[in-house]
Amino acid sequence: MKTLLPNNVFCSTFGHNYFKVKNVNSETSEIVCKCCGNKFLSTSQGDVLQISFGNNDIETLIDYLDFQEHRFRKKTA
């Protein structure tokens, strides 16, 4: 696992100040640092993984496709 240094001086000195944004699924939740704005995933095992910029685009696409699927199912029901 590679170590990532935060760009923010507060985060490098005291650590990130997390707050929960949403539950991705039952075992994973998305958290964001209040100071530097970096996004992370928190797992049920206690791991905190930083989301790379490419993953944000993929997550947006998955959310959009999920929304379209639910919308399509409502029309056909």
Residue-averaged pLDDT of the chain: 79
Phi, psi of 51 (to 5 degrees): -85, 125
Would you list the domain boundaries of the chain? 9-76
Single out the residue of 59, 58, 39 nearest to residue 49, CA to CA: 39
Q: For residues 11 and 21, which has the higher predicted lDDT (pLDDT)? A: 21
- pLDDT of 12 strictly over 50: yes
> Is residue 39 a contact partner of residue 23, using CB atoms and an 8 Å limit?
no
Scan for tokens 């797992």, then name that residue. Answer: 43
Q: How far apart are CA 36 and CA 5, in angstroms?
A: 11
What is the model's pLDDT at position 4? 55
pLDDT tier at 1, thresholds 50, 70, 90: very low
What is the model's pLDDT at position 53? 61
pLDDT tens per residue across span 41-69: 898 888 888 886 656 677 778 888 888 88
